Amino acid sequence: MSRPRQRRETEVFSLSFLDCICCGFGAIILIFILSVAQKRTIDRISVDDLQDRLRRLELQVSASKQEVERLTKLLTAAQSELPTLQKKTNESQLKLTDRKRELLALLQQTGLLKDALASLMDKKKALPTVDQAPLPIPDVDRRQYLTGFRLEGECVLFLVRASGSMLGETVEEASDLLEEPDYKKRESPKWQRTIRALEWMLATLAPETRFQILIFNEDANAILPKRADEWFALSDKKAIAEIVTKLNQIVPSGSANLERAFGKVRTLSRLPDAIVLLTDGLPTSSDSYLSDGATTDEQRVRFFREAVRMLPERIPVSTVLMPMSGDPAAPALFWELANRTRGALISPSKYWPES
Protein backbone atom coordinates (compact mmCIF):
# COMPACT_ATOMS: atom_id res chain seq x y z
CA MET A 1 0.00 0.00 0.00
CA SER A 2 1.44 3.16 -1.14
CA ARG A 3 1.95 6.14 1.06
CA PRO A 4 -0.34 8.99 0.45
CA ARG A 5 1.23 12.13 -1.19
CA GLN A 6 1.70 14.96 1.15
CA ARG A 7 0.14 18.29 0.17
CA ARG A 8 2.69 20.96 -0.71
CA GLU A 9 2.42 24.15 1.28
CA THR A 10 1.97 27.36 -0.66
CA GLU A 11 4.73 29.96 -0.12
CA VAL A 12 3.53 33.52 0.02
CA PHE A 13 6.87 35.14 -0.71
CA SER A 14 7.67 33.48 -3.91
CA LEU A 15 10.39 34.60 -6.31
CA SER A 16 7.99 36.34 -8.64
CA PHE A 17 6.48 38.40 -5.88
CA LEU A 18 9.89 39.53 -4.68
CA ASP A 19 10.81 40.53 -8.21
CA CYS A 20 7.70 42.74 -8.49
CA ILE A 21 8.36 44.28 -5.12
CA CYS A 22 11.97 45.09 -6.08
CA CYS A 23 10.99 46.55 -9.43
CA GLY A 24 8.36 48.78 -7.85
CA PHE A 25 10.76 49.96 -5.18
CA GLY A 26 13.38 50.73 -7.82
CA ALA A 27 10.86 52.73 -9.84
CA ILE A 28 9.96 54.76 -6.76
CA ILE A 29 13.64 55.46 -6.09
CA LEU A 30 14.15 56.53 -9.74
CA ILE A 31 11.17 58.89 -9.62
CA PHE A 32 12.46 60.38 -6.36
CA ILE A 33 15.92 60.95 -7.84
CA LEU A 34 14.49 62.64 -10.96
CA SER A 35 12.15 64.90 -8.92
CA VAL A 36 14.95 66.02 -6.61
CA ALA A 37 17.19 66.93 -9.60
CA GLN A 38 14.46 68.98 -11.27
CA LYS A 39 13.64 70.79 -8.01
CA ARG A 40 17.28 71.77 -7.63
CA THR A 41 17.21 73.37 -11.12
CA ILE A 42 13.99 75.31 -10.35
CA ASP A 43 15.33 76.41 -6.97
CA ARG A 44 18.51 77.62 -8.65
CA ILE A 45 16.56 79.76 -11.16
CA SER A 46 14.42 81.25 -8.36
CA VAL A 47 17.52 82.14 -6.33
CA ASP A 48 19.13 83.94 -9.32
CA ASP A 49 15.91 85.89 -9.98
CA LEU A 50 15.63 86.90 -6.33
CA GLN A 51 19.26 88.02 -6.25
CA ASP A 52 18.66 90.19 -9.37
CA ARG A 53 15.59 91.77 -7.82
CA LEU A 54 17.55 92.34 -4.63
CA ARG A 55 20.25 94.22 -6.53
CA ARG A 56 17.59 96.44 -8.19
CA LEU A 57 15.96 97.17 -4.88
CA GLU A 58 19.33 98.07 -3.40
CA LEU A 59 19.90 100.54 -6.26
CA GLN A 60 16.45 102.05 -5.70
CA VAL A 61 17.10 102.33 -1.99
CA SER A 62 20.43 104.06 -2.70
CA ALA A 63 18.75 106.53 -5.09
CA SER A 64 15.99 107.15 -2.57
CA LYS A 65 18.57 107.88 0.12
CA GLN A 66 20.27 110.42 -2.18
CA GLU A 67 16.91 112.08 -2.95
CA VAL A 68 16.09 112.17 0.78
CA GLU A 69 19.45 113.82 1.46
CA ARG A 70 18.80 116.41 -1.27
CA LEU A 71 15.30 117.16 0.01
CA THR A 72 16.67 117.39 3.54
CA LYS A 73 19.18 120.02 2.39
CA LEU A 74 16.41 121.96 0.58
CA LEU A 75 14.21 121.77 3.66
CA THR A 76 17.05 123.04 5.83
CA ALA A 77 17.70 125.93 3.42
CA ALA A 78 13.98 126.77 3.27
CA GLN A 79 13.72 126.71 7.06
CA SER A 80 16.70 129.05 7.29
CA GLU A 81 15.02 131.48 4.82
CA LEU A 82 11.63 131.25 6.48
CA PRO A 83 12.28 134.03 9.05
CA THR A 84 13.41 136.37 6.26
CA LEU A 85 10.33 135.59 4.19
CA GLN A 86 8.07 136.10 7.19
CA LYS A 87 9.69 139.46 7.78
CA LYS A 88 9.18 140.47 4.15
CA THR A 89 5.58 139.28 4.31
CA ASN A 90 4.95 141.44 7.34
CA GLU A 91 6.52 144.44 5.60
CA SER A 92 4.40 143.80 2.49
CA GLN A 93 1.26 143.64 4.59
CA LEU A 94 2.17 146.96 6.15
CA LYS A 95 2.75 148.47 2.71
CA LEU A 96 -0.53 146.99 1.48
CA THR A 97 -2.31 148.61 4.39
CA ASP A 98 -0.73 151.95 3.50
CA ARG A 99 -1.75 151.49 -0.16
CA LYS A 100 -5.30 150.71 0.89
CA ARG A 101 -5.39 153.94 2.86
CA GLU A 102 -4.04 155.87 -0.13
CA LEU A 103 -6.59 154.19 -2.40
CA LEU A 104 -9.41 155.14 -0.10
CA ALA A 105 -8.15 158.73 -0.09
CA LEU A 106 -7.98 158.74 -3.91
CA LEU A 107 -11.48 157.32 -4.16
CA GLN A 108 -12.74 160.08 -1.93
CA GLN A 109 -10.94 162.68 -4.10
CA THR A 110 -12.37 161.03 -7.23
CA GLY A 111 -15.85 161.29 -5.81
CA LEU A 112 -15.31 164.98 -5.11
CA LEU A 113 -13.93 165.52 -8.65
CA LYS A 114 -16.93 163.72 -10.17
CA ASP A 115 -19.25 165.96 -8.22
CA ALA A 116 -17.32 169.03 -9.37
CA LEU A 117 -17.37 167.79 -12.99
CA ALA A 118 -21.11 167.18 -12.84
CA SER A 119 -21.58 170.70 -11.50
CA LEU A 120 -19.47 172.15 -14.34
CA MET A 121 -21.36 170.12 -16.95
CA ASP A 122 -24.64 171.46 -15.59
CA LYS A 123 -23.26 175.01 -15.86
CA LYS A 124 -22.07 174.29 -19.40
CA LYS A 125 -25.52 173.09 -20.42
CA ALA A 126 -26.95 176.31 -19.09
CA LEU A 127 -24.62 178.38 -21.33
CA PRO A 128 -25.92 179.51 -24.76
CA THR A 129 -24.66 177.23 -27.55
CA VAL A 130 -22.53 178.61 -30.37
CA ASP A 131 -22.09 176.67 -33.61
CA GLN A 132 -18.45 176.18 -34.50
CA ALA A 133 -17.19 176.62 -38.02
CA PRO A 134 -16.94 173.33 -39.95
CA LEU A 135 -13.45 174.35 -41.07
CA PRO A 136 -11.42 175.97 -38.27
CA ILE A 137 -9.49 179.11 -39.22
CA PRO A 138 -5.77 178.55 -38.55
CA ASP A 139 -5.18 182.12 -37.42
CA VAL A 140 -8.07 184.54 -37.20
CA ASP A 141 -5.73 187.54 -37.20
CA ARG A 142 -4.56 186.57 -40.69
CA ARG A 143 -7.97 186.90 -42.37
CA GLN A 144 -6.61 189.67 -44.58
CA TYR A 145 -3.48 187.76 -45.54
CA LEU A 146 -4.72 187.45 -49.15
CA THR A 147 -4.54 191.19 -49.76
CA GLY A 148 -6.29 192.15 -52.99
CA PHE A 149 -8.28 188.93 -53.34
CA ARG A 150 -11.88 189.80 -54.09
CA LEU A 151 -13.72 187.01 -52.28
CA GLU A 152 -16.75 189.17 -51.68
CA GLY A 153 -20.02 188.36 -53.34
CA GLU A 154 -22.75 185.85 -53.03
CA CYS A 155 -20.94 182.98 -54.81
CA VAL A 156 -17.20 182.20 -55.08
CA LEU A 157 -15.82 179.49 -57.35
CA PHE A 158 -12.55 177.69 -56.57
CA LEU A 159 -10.70 176.07 -59.49
CA VAL A 160 -8.09 173.59 -58.23
CA ARG A 161 -5.50 172.09 -60.54
CA ALA A 162 -4.90 168.37 -59.89
CA SER A 163 -2.45 167.50 -62.68
CA GLY A 164 0.74 165.51 -62.17
CA SER A 165 2.80 168.69 -61.85
CA MET A 166 1.09 169.42 -58.51
CA LEU A 167 3.14 166.62 -56.95
CA GLY A 168 6.48 168.44 -56.93
CA GLU A 169 8.20 171.81 -57.21
CA THR A 170 10.36 170.65 -60.11
CA VAL A 171 9.59 168.58 -63.19
CA GLU A 172 12.00 165.89 -62.01
CA GLU A 173 10.42 165.67 -58.54
CA ALA A 174 6.91 165.47 -59.99
CA SER A 175 7.99 162.81 -62.52
CA ASP A 176 9.55 160.67 -59.79
CA LEU A 177 6.40 160.83 -57.65
CA LEU A 178 4.25 159.80 -60.62
CA GLU A 179 5.89 156.37 -60.37
CA GLU A 180 4.99 156.03 -56.68
CA PRO A 181 1.81 154.45 -55.23
CA ASP A 182 -1.30 156.62 -54.93
CA TYR A 183 -1.00 157.07 -51.17
CA LYS A 184 2.44 158.66 -51.62
CA LYS A 185 1.10 160.96 -54.32
CA ARG A 186 -1.67 162.14 -51.99
CA GLU A 187 0.91 162.76 -49.26
CA SER A 188 3.28 164.84 -51.41
CA PRO A 189 4.10 168.14 -49.62
CA LYS A 190 3.07 170.40 -52.49
CA TRP A 191 -0.35 168.77 -52.91
CA GLN A 192 -0.95 168.84 -49.17
CA ARG A 193 -0.12 172.57 -49.11
CA THR A 194 -2.64 173.10 -51.91
CA ILE A 195 -5.36 171.32 -49.93
CA ARG A 196 -4.56 173.28 -46.77
CA ALA A 197 -4.56 176.56 -48.73
CA LEU A 198 -8.00 175.77 -50.13
CA GLU A 199 -9.34 174.83 -46.68
CA TRP A 200 -7.85 178.04 -45.25
CA MET A 201 -9.57 180.21 -47.85
CA LEU A 202 -12.88 178.38 -47.40
CA ALA A 203 -12.69 178.95 -43.64
CA THR A 204 -12.14 182.69 -44.12
CA LEU A 205 -15.20 183.20 -46.33
CA ALA A 206 -17.93 185.42 -44.97
CA PRO A 207 -20.81 183.44 -43.41
CA GLU A 208 -23.23 184.58 -46.10
CA THR A 209 -20.92 183.63 -49.00
CA ARG A 210 -21.60 180.40 -50.87
CA PHE A 211 -19.02 178.46 -52.87
CA GLN A 212 -18.39 175.67 -55.36
CA ILE A 213 -15.18 173.77 -56.20
CA LEU A 214 -14.06 172.45 -59.60
CA ILE A 215 -11.12 170.03 -59.85
CA PHE A 216 -9.36 169.99 -63.22
CA ASN A 217 -6.60 168.11 -65.02
CA GLU A 218 -7.42 166.67 -68.48
CA ASP A 219 -11.07 167.26 -67.59
CA ALA A 220 -12.92 169.52 -65.15
CA ASN A 221 -15.56 168.30 -62.70
CA ALA A 222 -17.27 169.47 -59.55
CA ILE A 223 -15.70 168.06 -56.41
CA LEU A 224 -19.08 166.50 -55.57
CA PRO A 225 -20.42 165.50 -59.03
CA LYS A 226 -23.92 164.69 -57.73
CA ARG A 227 -24.18 168.23 -56.33
CA ALA A 228 -22.56 170.09 -59.24
CA ASP A 229 -25.50 172.50 -59.59
CA GLU A 230 -25.42 173.57 -55.93
CA TRP A 231 -23.61 176.38 -54.16
CA PHE A 232 -22.51 175.33 -50.68
CA ALA A 233 -22.68 177.29 -47.44
CA LEU A 234 -20.19 176.93 -44.62
CA SER A 235 -23.10 176.08 -42.34
CA ASP A 236 -23.75 172.93 -44.41
CA LYS A 237 -21.65 170.64 -42.23
CA LYS A 238 -22.53 167.51 -44.19
CA ALA A 239 -21.34 169.05 -47.47
CA ILE A 240 -18.16 170.38 -45.83
CA ALA A 241 -17.36 166.94 -44.43
CA GLU A 242 -17.90 165.33 -47.86
CA ILE A 243 -15.68 167.95 -49.52
CA VAL A 244 -12.84 167.48 -47.04
CA THR A 245 -13.05 163.70 -47.47
CA LYS A 246 -13.03 164.02 -51.27
CA LEU A 247 -10.04 166.38 -51.22
CA ASN A 248 -8.03 163.80 -49.28
CA GLN A 249 -8.94 161.11 -51.83
CA ILE A 250 -7.81 162.97 -54.96
CA VAL A 251 -4.65 161.67 -56.66
CA PRO A 252 -2.99 164.32 -58.88
CA SER A 253 -2.27 162.95 -62.35
CA GLY A 254 -2.30 163.76 -66.05
CA SER A 255 -2.08 167.09 -67.83
CA ALA A 256 -3.84 170.40 -67.09
CA ASN A 257 -6.55 171.65 -69.48
CA LEU A 258 -7.37 175.17 -68.26
CA GLU A 259 -9.51 175.78 -71.33
CA ARG A 260 -11.90 173.04 -70.27
CA ALA A 261 -11.92 174.34 -66.68
CA PHE A 262 -12.82 177.91 -67.71
CA GLY A 263 -15.39 176.53 -70.15
CA LYS A 264 -17.00 174.59 -67.30
CA VAL A 265 -17.69 177.89 -65.52
CA ARG A 266 -20.25 178.77 -68.20
CA THR A 267 -22.21 175.57 -67.49
CA LEU A 268 -22.80 176.31 -63.80
CA SER A 269 -26.33 176.89 -62.57
CA ARG A 270 -25.25 180.42 -61.65
CA LEU A 271 -22.17 182.40 -62.66
CA PRO A 272 -19.83 183.09 -59.73
CA ASP A 273 -19.10 186.57 -58.41
CA ALA A 274 -15.39 185.71 -58.07
CA ILE A 275 -13.04 182.94 -59.15
CA VAL A 276 -10.00 181.71 -57.21
CA LEU A 277 -7.59 179.61 -59.28
CA LEU A 278 -5.08 177.38 -57.48
CA THR A 279 -2.45 176.27 -59.97
CA ASP A 280 1.31 175.97 -60.40
CA GLY A 281 1.77 177.20 -63.96
CA LEU A 282 0.45 177.40 -67.50
CA PRO A 283 -1.81 174.67 -68.93
CA THR A 284 -0.23 171.66 -70.65
CA SER A 285 -3.14 170.65 -72.88
CA SER A 286 -5.95 172.27 -74.83
CA ASP A 287 -9.07 171.27 -76.73
CA SER A 288 -8.41 173.87 -79.44
CA TYR A 289 -4.77 172.98 -80.09
CA LEU A 290 -3.75 169.33 -80.10
CA SER A 291 -0.14 168.57 -79.21
CA ASP A 292 1.94 165.55 -80.13
CA GLY A 293 4.45 164.62 -77.44
CA ALA A 294 5.92 167.16 -75.01
CA THR A 295 4.50 170.70 -75.19
CA THR A 296 6.79 173.67 -75.72
CA ASP A 297 6.70 176.96 -73.82
CA GLU A 298 5.13 178.67 -76.85
CA GLN A 299 2.38 176.05 -77.02
CA ARG A 300 1.61 176.45 -73.32
CA VAL A 301 1.26 180.24 -73.78
CA ARG A 302 -1.13 179.56 -76.67
CA PHE A 303 -3.10 177.11 -74.51
CA PHE A 304 -3.39 179.77 -71.80
CA ARG A 305 -4.64 182.51 -74.12
CA GLU A 306 -7.21 180.16 -75.63
CA ALA A 307 -8.41 179.22 -72.14
CA VAL A 308 -8.84 182.88 -71.17
CA ARG A 309 -11.18 183.35 -74.14
CA MET A 310 -13.55 180.84 -72.51
CA LEU A 311 -13.98 182.95 -69.37
CA PRO A 312 -17.28 184.80 -68.86
CA GLU A 313 -16.80 188.57 -68.72
CA ARG A 314 -16.66 190.78 -65.63
CA ILE A 315 -15.71 188.03 -63.16
CA PRO A 316 -12.58 188.76 -61.08
CA VAL A 317 -10.05 185.93 -61.30
CA SER A 318 -7.52 185.72 -58.49
CA THR A 319 -4.67 183.21 -58.83
CA VAL A 320 -2.68 181.42 -56.17
CA LEU A 321 0.43 180.39 -58.11
CA MET A 322 2.10 177.50 -56.30
CA PRO A 323 5.87 177.11 -56.80
CA MET A 324 7.04 175.26 -59.93
CA SER A 325 10.35 175.61 -61.76
CA GLY A 326 10.70 175.66 -65.54
CA ASP A 327 7.67 177.86 -66.34
CA PRO A 328 9.06 181.43 -66.70
CA ALA A 329 6.07 182.90 -68.56
CA ALA A 330 3.48 181.88 -65.96
CA PRO A 331 3.80 184.79 -63.45
CA ALA A 332 3.52 187.46 -66.17
CA LEU A 333 0.51 185.86 -67.87
CA PHE A 334 -1.40 185.30 -64.62
CA TRP A 335 -0.60 188.89 -63.59
CA GLU A 336 -2.02 190.02 -66.90
CA LEU A 337 -5.17 187.96 -66.21
CA ALA A 338 -5.50 189.50 -62.73
CA ASN A 339 -5.19 193.03 -64.14
CA ARG A 340 -7.69 192.40 -66.89
CA THR A 341 -10.34 190.90 -64.62
CA ARG A 342 -9.56 193.10 -61.60
CA GLY A 343 -8.50 190.12 -59.60
CA ALA A 344 -5.19 189.46 -57.86
CA LEU A 345 -2.13 187.25 -58.01
CA ILE A 346 -0.02 185.86 -55.20
CA SER A 347 2.90 183.47 -55.38
CA PRO A 348 3.14 182.16 -51.82
CA SER A 349 6.17 180.68 -50.10
CA LYS A 350 6.51 176.93 -49.77
CA TYR A 351 5.32 177.17 -46.15
CA TRP A 352 2.05 179.02 -46.87
CA PRO A 353 -0.58 178.93 -45.37
CA GLU A 354 1.19 177.70 -42.17
CA SER A 355 3.40 180.79 -42.03
Decide if 124 is inside a domain: no
* One domain, residues 75 and 200: no
Question: Taking Cα atoms as reference points, which of 153, 135, 126, 175 lies closest to residue 273?
Answer: 153
Decide if 126 is inside a domain: no
* One domain, residues 303 and 169: yes
Decide if 115 is inside a domain: no
Decide if 329 is inside a domain: yes
* One domain, residues 336 and 190: yes
Structure confidence at residue 39 (pLDDT) = 62
Structure confidence at residue 2 (pLDDT) = 55
Q: How many CB atoms lie within 10 A of CB 341?
A: 20
Structure confidence at residue 130 (pLDDT) = 47
* One domain, residues 58 and 181: no
pTM check: above 0.85: no
* One domain, residues 220 and 318: yes
Tell me the per-residue pLDDT of 268-304, one tens digit each, with 9 for 90 and over: 999 999 999 999 999 999 998 877 667 888 999 999 9
Cβ contacts of residue 239 below 8 Å, gap of 6+?
A: 224, 227, 230, 232, 233
Structure confidence at residue 14 (pLDDT) = 59
* One domain, residues 191 and 283: yes
Structure confidence at residue 32 (pLDDT) = 76
Among the three residues 78, 98, 118, which one is the final residue of a domain in this structure?
A: 98
Among the three residues 65, 98, 131, which one is the final residue of a domain in this structure?
A: 98
Query: How many domains are contained in the chain?
Result: 2
Structure confidence at residue 108 (pLDDT) = 83
> Which residues of the chain have a pLDDT value below 70?
1-15, 17-18, 36-44, 127-150, 292-293, 350-355
Q: How far apart are CA 38 and CA 60, in angstroms?
A: 34
* One domain, residues 278 and 165: yes
Structure confidence at residue 290 (pLDDT) = 78
Q: How many CB atoms lie within 10 A of CB 184?
A: 12
Structure confidence at residue 140 (pLDDT) = 43
Structural domain for 196, as ranges: 149-346
Among the three residues 59, 81, 98, which one is the final residue of a domain in this structure?
A: 98
Tell me the per-residue pLDDT of 12-44, one tens digit each, with 9 for 90 and over: 555 576 677 788 878 888 787 777 666 666 666
